[in-house]
Amino acid sequence: MSIHPSAVIAPGAVVPGSCTVGPFSTIGPHVVLGEGCILVSHVVLDGRTRIGARNTFHPFCAVGVAPQDLKYGGEPTELEIGDGNTIRENVTVSRGTAGGGGVTRIGSNCLLMAGVHIGHDSLVGSHCILANCATLAGHVIIEDYATVGAFSPVHQHCTVGTYAFIGG
């Protein structure tokens, strides 16, 4: 295990020995990391977050943070992330809300480019690409192999179908 001395890992967090935790990263007490994950630097993983194997998190992403929903009252909601995803700089991923099913999910082998936001209770399939600054409001479904182009917002309660491409 490679953990930079400036990283903060809360008691209770699960970090396998095959993971790399870079400088100034923080991992909350309810986070479970899979094998071979890399936190480059300045990464925040929080909440009840389960992350699969071989995911890479780049600087200044905030993953598993509280939802941006005024109705959220601190309920123990979740985020689930599959395997082999690349989460680039400044990405934010909110966990679910009690009123929306309680879980946000991201599949496997996705690329979330810089500045992407995935809102609460959203479901992102596998092999998806969300280009720079694409934003998903809460309760959005992105099906497998879909691409959301740069600067494209997706309104809440919308579905982007399998292999669909949304351009900015």
* Upper half-sphere CA count for residue 26 (Cβ side, 13 Å): 11
List, for residues 121-168, the tens digit of each pLDDT value: 999 999 999 999 999 999 999 999 999 999 999 999 999 999 999 997
* Beta-sheet strand order (sheet of 103-106): 31-32, 48-51, 78-81, 103-106, 123-124, 141-142, 159-160
Q: How far apart are CA 158 and CA 30, in angstroms?
A: 30
* Upper half-sphere CA count for residue 125 (Cβ side, 13 Å): 16
* Beta-sheet strand order (sheet of 44-45): 8-9, 26-27, 44-45, 62-65, 92-94, 117-118, 135-136, 153-154
List, for residues 57-107, the tens digit of each pLDDT value: 999 999 999 999 999 999 999 999 999 999 999 999 999 999 999 999 999
Please list the residues that pair with 162 across neighbouring strands: none
Instruction: Name the residue with tokens 């909350």.
Output: 28
pTM of the model: 0.97
Strands 20-21 and 38-39: parallel
* 8 Å CB contact between 97 and 79: no
Total length of the chain: 168
* 8 Å CB contact between 111 and 81: no
> Catalytic amino acids?
120-121, 138
